Amino acid sequence: MSAPAMRLVPSTIRLADNLPLYELRVTAVTSSDMSVEVWQLPSPATPRLQQAELTATLAGRPWRLMEARVAKRLRQAGIQILHVRKGQPAKYPLTEDMALNLALLFRVLAPMRNIDRIQMVADGIDKMTREEAGYWLGMAVHRVYPRRVLAALRMLLTTP
């Protein structure tokens, strides 16, 4: 095979253009409470998307329980969410790895109320590889009954 025939990717397309794009949107609901959302943005890697799509959100009591953990992880990525004020929503770009992990965490924790179980599930999701998080998030997003998938994941992560 000749050298020009092996070239499969046009030179105008960069590899970074073929990655899914994610965004973190933070809205201060009250002076002490926030709503944090992970959105997937249209990109060449996701041709099915014509507009931004909400992937996961966390607010209320589950957010308050996870706020310090999530804020620490975001701070390590260079994102400061604690300065967001009411009426001034903020948007931050996310890497794919961070978006997968946060979206899965938000979806699994949203209906939970037991503090001990929330901690166990959050620890389990933190230990997941990128592939595991992507698998579980894909199952939770694209299934007919995503609540069953999320319930199964909660059981797997909280069973001794």
129-139 tens-digit pLDDT: 989 999 999 99
Q: Is residue 8 part of a domain?
A: no
Total structural domains in the chain?
A: 1
Q: Is residue 4 part of a domain?
A: no
Average pLDDT of the residues of the chain: 84
Question: Which pLDDT belongs to residue 9?
Answer: 36
57 residue type, one letter: T
Please state, in angstroms and rounded to a whole number, the distance separating the CA atoms of residues 91 and 94: 10
Q: Is residue 33 part of a domain?
A: yes
Number of continuous H segments (helices) and E segments (strands) in the chain: 6, 4
Please indicate, yes or no, whether the overall pTM of this predicted structure exceeds 0.85: no
Per-residue pLDDT of the chain (160 residues; tens, 9 = 90+): 444 443 333 333 344 568 889 999 999 887 678 899 999 999 888 888 889 999 999 988 888 888 888 989 899 888 888 778 887 888 999 999 999 999 999 999 988 888 889 999 999 999 999 899 999 999 998 888 889 999 999 999 997 7
Q: Is residue 12 part of a domain?
A: no
Which residues lie below 8 Å from residue 101, measured CB to CB, with a gap of 6+? 125, 126, 128, 130, 133
Q: Is residue 85 part of a domain?
A: yes
Alpha helices in 35-145 (DSSP H): 60-76, 96-109, 115-127, 130-142
Which residues lie below 8 Å from residue 127, measured CB to CB, with a gap of 6+? none
Q: Is residue 2 part of a domain?
A: no
Q: Is residue 118 part of a domain?
A: yes
Domain that holds residue 137: 19-158
108: nearest Cα among 95, 126, 92? 126
**Residue 30, helix vs strand vs coil:** coil
Q: Is residue 64 part of a domain?
A: yes
